[in-house]
Structure 1
Amino acid sequence: MVKIKKLCSTIAAVGVVAVGLGTYAQAATYKGYSTTVPIFNDYESSPLKKATTGSAYNDVSRIDNDKLVSWVENSSGSNVTSKVSYTSTGTKIMDYSSASTQKGKDLHLNISTSVGTISSVYTKGEWTPN
């Protein structure tokens, strides 16, 4: 009887761990980018599907000599996050106005030069809509 209880406890523990790992695996999908952002247009990434109701993240690993602005748009081109301006590397958080309504949808990152920028800007990083 003791062996059956131990076996049941082990099976239950393995089940909890498996469910936890399944949830973790769905967390965030990052997509890399490496681009020169032109002065008068913006860079638009390929779409990623939003899997959670959290904020979007742009992890900038390189920015050359100027100021950029990033935000997330939906497939019809409407802005769905706040715009974030930056001049240095690091993680930029873009908050959704209504994250739960975007879950499961294809979204893309936009990056543009800031007002007053007089040349194209090279940047590199990775982003997630989650």
Structure 2
Amino acid sequence: MNDTYIPHLPIWTNFSNVYLNSHNKTMAAWPYVFRNISDEYDWYYKGEDDGYLIVENLKAFLRNYDPNKPHYFGAWVKPYLDKGYNSGGGYVFSRATLKLLVEAMEKNEHFCPNADYEDIGIGM
């Protein structure tokens, strides 16, 4: 395993490592990602440590979509919000969606309200 490098960035250091900080960590991460690496990638996946992603399947699915148009994909559930939200296995943003999200967050600090569960906060 030492010959495999997984790129990563420690973008937050001011949060304790507990599950209920997931929302705050994620909301701090998206502006950083947008400002620092959004021109390098087309799609952004947010998942949890107890989920699995088959990258080849995701790539095959995304092949038919334009990352320069707003797209938000995931397993759609509706128990807490009438409009629903993506939960469980994570979600995927296109580059255009990331831009819209961060611009909205910068204009309105309450755009993605602090929810106990990050996936619900993004869905709001």
Bin the TM-score by the shorter chain. Answer: under 0.3
Q: If each structure's helix is expressed as a fraction of its own residues, which one has the higher value?
A: 2
Q: If each structure's strand is expressed as a fraction of its own residues, which one has the higher value?
A: 1
Larger RCO: Structure 1 or Structure 2 (Cα < 8 Å, ≥ 6 residues apart)? 1
TM-score normalised by the chain length of structure 1: 0.25
TM-score normalised by the chain length of structure 2: 0.26
